[in-house]
Amino acid sequence: MTDRISCINTRSARCSELSLSSPALSVLRAAPPSRGRPPAASRDDVLEAALYRYLRGERVDVRALAADLGLGRTTIYRWFGSREGLLGEVLFRAAEPLVDDARARATGSGAAALLDTFDRINRELAAAPALRQFLERERDGLRIITSSAGSVQPRMVDKITALIEDEVHAGAFVAPVEPAILGYAIVRLAEAFLFNDAVHGIRGDVERLREIEAVILGVRP
C-alpha cells in the first residue's frame, strides 16, 4: 500500500507497475464527487475529497468541498477548526505513507538505516509535485507545514522519533541526545533544506542535507 501512495505523491515510473485495484487508490481513481450528494458525508469523506484535489495540484476550496459532499461549511469547520486545519490534515495524510514506505525500503540497521530512511523521505518530498504546487499557490503554505502549533510538524516529529526509538530499543543505535530531541532536530533541518532557506542556497539540496544528517547520526562516509 505504501508503494502505491508514494507513487501517487511523486508520479514516478513505478506507477505503471502497480495494480490499480488497491482500495488506497480509490479516491484517486474515482471521478470527483458529484454535486447534490445527500448530506451523509463523514469527516473522512472530507479528507478524502480534499486529498483528491491536493494530489492533483488543485486548490482545496472548503466551499466547493461542502457543495460536492452535501455538507455545510460550518460542519467542515467544526471538524477541522479552519481551512488551515484541514490542509494540515491533508498534508500529513499525504506525507505519512512516504515515511512508512521509506522505512520499509531502507537497508541496514541502526544509524545507517535511519540515514537511509531520512534520505529517502527527503528525496520523495523534494520531488513531490503536489507539495511543490501547494507551496507555490498557498501564501501560508510554509507556515502550515512548519508551525509547531500546527498539525503537520508535531506529527512528523512523532513519526521520526518513533523510527529512532525503534533502532534504540533494538540495541542498534545509541542516540546522541534524547530521541524526541533528535527527531525534532531532523525534522527542522529537513524543513530548512527542503522548503525554507533560499538565502544560503540550500533549498532543495538533498545531497547536502544527507551529509549533515550523516554527521548528526554518526555515520561515517
Q: Which three cell numbers stand for residue 135?
A: 507551496
Q: Which three cell numbers stand for residue 98?
A: 512516504
pLDDT score, position 141: 93
Residue ranges covered by each domain of the chain: 2-84, 91-217
Going by CATH, does the domain composed of 91-217 fall within 3.40.50? no
Pair 155, 149: CB distance under 8 Å: no
Nearest to 59 by CA among 140, 155, 180, 151: 140
pLDDT score, position 205: 84
Residues of the chain with pLDDT under 70: 1-39, 197-203
pLDDT score, position 220: 85
- What is the spatial distance between Cα 163 and Cα 219, in angstroms, rounded to a whole number? 16
pLDDT score, position 6: 45
Place of cell 472548503: 62
- What is the spatial distance between Cα 27 and Cα 218, in angstroms, rounded to a whole number? 41
Helix axes 83-105, 129-137, angle to 10 degrees: 150
Tell me the pTM: 0.79
* CA-angle at 44, arms to 42 and 45, nearest 5°: 65
pLDDT score, position 130: 94
